[in-house]
Amino acid sequence: MKVYQTKEIRNIALVGGAKSGKTTLAEGMLFESGRINRRGTIDDKNTVSDYRPIELERQNSVFSSLLYAEFNGKKINIIDTPGFDDFVGEVVSALKVADTALIVVNAQNGVEVGTEIAWRNTSKNNTPVMFAINHLEHENSNFDETIRQMKTRFGGSLAICQYPVNPGHGFDSVIDLLKMKMYKFHENGGKPEILDIPADEKGKAEEMQAAMIEDLASSDETLMEKFFENGTLTEEEIQQALRIGLKKRGLFPVLCINAKHNMGVNRLMEFIEINAPAPDEMPAIKTVNGKELKCNPKEPAVAFIFKTTLEPHFGEVSFFKVYNGEIAEGADLINANTDSKERLGQLFAVFGKNREKLEKVVSGDIAATVKLKNSPTNSTLNASKNSDDVVEPIIFPEPKYRVAVKAQNQSDDEKLSTVLSAMHKVDQTLMVQYSKELKQLILGGQGELHLNITKWQIENLDKIPITFITPKIPYRETITKSAKATYRHKKQSGGAGQFGEVHMMIEPYKEGMSWTTEFPVRGTDEINLDWGGKLIMNNSIVGGAIDARFLPAILKGVMEKIEEGPLTGSYARDIVFYVYDGKMHPVDSNEISFKLAGRHAFKEAFKNAGPQILEPIYDVEVLVPEDKMGDVMTDLQGRRAIIMGMDREGNYQKILAKVPLAEMNKYATALSSITSGRAMYSMKFAEYSNVSPDIQVQLLKAYEESQQDED
């Protein structure tokens, strides 16, 4: 395969709602470029993009697919992404390396939830955007209403470059306002007849072209001056304005297609080839140390791994974009994140599950390699041994939906852990963690659909039957006042016995606190607990009542109880305890005796120290359409949320709230139901806070019942 230079490369991400036609469009682009000689269909389950078992089962994209098309001397890298928000990680990683996003809009439905989500993601990445209005052949398609909605939701900077002459059944013609010609397509699409604009469309076309030129001129001050001077722009100036405006996100070209029948796809590719920015025309990306990478082929090579897959017969496949320099087959690179060496033994251009060997990959291009030793997604590979260039990582969204998962057959537990670890490599939004505290394997994802598809893959591909369970909440326990307790551990069973007596006082820990004056403090052990907060032991023994060698055993006993709190078995935190007296036996005292005495003394004191259960509170941010604001607020308040503020973001209202994690179970499903899928949210751990007395009573009762069941 030809080695394409940076100027000859276009990197495009196909984004948009489910069923908007992205995969069908990708198929048409491959066909128009000659990459395939027959277009597959979703119904026939033979498209290049959707080849994985779950995608064939569901008949929609679950993972992004890398494709490429060679067109008019250019290489167009195409990343076909899923439309459901549950798979947003695939979109986020694609937009990291794409230089242009092509948002596909379904003309039957107008601006859908998926369209808005795609727009938000491109805005976060500051990615240039063009729109393709699809499904114009359907009876319910409405181009004018779709454009009206787009202007309302995305602002007025749409550059309408084409409009359909006869949308609906029989659709076969568009007016191209750049060429001022009518494109009339054959029944099976392909290259159209290019005709003069009919007389009855001439006036409308001229009016729309004038509006388009005015929008284009506004993208650049020099062009605006020329527009004011001449009242229009030349064809060359229009082309210049398109490139400038698109690159700066100052305008968003709109074209028309019927992807199913391959109408308008060739012209769309021509538009991309001419107007979409090449990688070196985009703003430089930054490394974590602030250096800029400008896709310069003369610099030492820097490549960034943005996606990892596991493929049958290939194993682990790593997809990367070259941001500087050139990489040849067999190149030895350094993983800047781990300082380990990697050899790129083989390089591939990828289209779906098919691969074509490459000898070299230049700056700006996207390719794949296999069997890297230790370079997961978000790794940066450098040619220079002394380079510390690390590309800023992809920020994947935090999990919004949690379940506990367990294998139905205990013998599959280890295999399940291995499978989930491999799945996380492929899908960075799928979080897997065994909670020692909860004694559950916790699976976190972007929604119920996300995790249900994960379950399908585990059960159908890996043949491990699993069960989803509502996850426990990681509560914390603490105290609100001081209390004392004494415990004597005494055991005599022939021969050497066990004896240890501990007198203890406990009190709440607060940052910067002073120790009590009731007891002298002769030594302090401060422990920063892994689960947050502190445990502090103060040695206040006078007169050698307990030998100093037994103090570590007392601390060990207290730590055991801290790890399994007296109230609900949750971790305890933020406690100071004083060992101020006790007794020893010259023969029977040993470490186990004082460990048990310390453990029980702490347990008794804890129960008398105003024990308090703490619950995890999350910062929740909800983006909601204005007409659904009241319903979402009511639902949040029913979840014990504290509303922290509201703000506007584009055409959406943003609600900021603090919500207990216990109330967020299946919130993704509930929010989708309330807003017909139009809202989205994110959540991030904020703090631990006291539960109310009535909830504490419920939790204590539930724990007591569970302990009785275990007994």
> pLDDT (tens digit, 9 = 90+) per residue, 480-531?
999 999 999 998 776 678 999 999 999 999 999 999 989 999 999 999 999 9
- The rounded Cα 312 to chain-centroid distance in angstroms is 25
Q: 235-291: per-residue pLDDT in tens?
A: 888 888 899 899 989 899 999 999 999 999 999 999 999 999 999 999 999 999 989
Residue 572 in tokens: 């305890």
**Which residues, listed in sequence order, are joined to residue 688 by a DSSP beta bridge?**
616
Side-chain-side CA neighbours of 33 within 13 Å: the count stands at 25
Joined tokens for residue 273: 């080839």
What's the chain's average pLDDT? 93
Q: How confident is the model at residue 711 (pLDDT cuts 50, 70, 90)?
A: very low
Quote the distance between the C-alpha of residue 155 and its chain's center: 26
* pLDDT number for residue 494: 66
Tens digits of residue pLDDT in 563-594: 988 899 899 999 999 999 999 998 899 999 99
Mean local confidence (pLDDT), 375-403? 92
Using only the alpha carbons of the chain, give its radius of gyration: 32
The Cα–Cα gap between 450 and 466 comes to 15
Evaluate whether 305 touches 320 at the Cβ level (below 8 Å). Answer: yes
Backbone angles phi, psi at 597, to 5 degrees: -65, -45
User: Tokens representing 81?
Assistant: 């992404």
The tokens of 75 are what?
């290489």
Q: Is 446 exposed, middle or buried (0-12, 13-18, 19+ CB in 10 A)?
A: buried
Mean pLDDT for 330-353 is: 93
Q: What angle do CA 362, 366, 372 make, to 5 degrees?
A: 95
CA-closest candidate to residue 529, choices 575, 482, 469, 481: 575
For the chain, domains (ranges, CATH) are 7-212+257-281 (3.40.50.300), 285-381 (2.40.30.10), 401-472 (3.30.70.870), 477-610 (3.30.230.10), 613-694 (3.30.70.240)
Coil, strand or helix: which one is 595? helix
DSSP structure class, residue 607: H
Strands 252-256 and 158-160: parallel
pTM: 0.87
- Give 18's Cβ-side CA count (13 Å radius): 13
- What does the pLDDT look like over 625-635, one tens digit per residue? 888 999 999 99
What percentage of the chain exceeds 70 in pLDDT? 99
* DSSP letters spanning 397-415: PPP-EEEEEEESSGGGHHH
Q: Which residue has the tokens 């109230």?
A: 567
Beta bridge partners of 316: 310
Cβ atoms of 40 and 47 closer than 8 Å: yes
Q: Sorting pLDDT into bands at 50, 70 and 90, what band is 347? A: very high
Which residues have C-beta within 8 Å of that of residue 640, sequence separation ≥ 6? 659, 660, 663
- 342 strand-pairing partners: 333
What is the identity of the amino acid at 551? L
Q: Is the pLDDT of residue 89 over 90?
A: yes
C-alpha angle 18-452-378 in degrees, rounded to nearest 5: 75
The helix/strand/coil state of 288 is coil
Structure tokens at 697: 């009573």
How far apart CA 696 and CA 694 sit, in angstroms, is: 5
Dihedral angle sign, alpha carbons of residues 435, 437, 438, 444: negative
Q: What percent of the chain stands above pLDDT 90?
A: 79
Report pLDDT digits (tens) over 687-707: 999 999 999 999 999 888 887
Residue 377: band (very low, low, confident or very high) from pLDDT cuts 50, 70, 90: very high
Give first-to-last CA distance, the chain, whole Å. Answer: 69
Edge-to-edge strands, sheet with 575-583: 483-491, 498-508, 575-583, 534-539, 523-528
Task: Provide the pLDDT confidence category of residue 423 given band limits of 50, 70 and 90.
Answer: very high
Question: What is the chain's length?
Answer: 711
The torsion defined by the Cα of 265, 271, 276 and 280, in degrees rounded to 10, comes to 110
Is 91 within 8 Å of 127 (Cβ atoms)? Answer: no
Distance CA(222)–CA(230), nearest Å, equals 12
Interatomic CA distance for residues 386 and 579, integer angstroms: 54
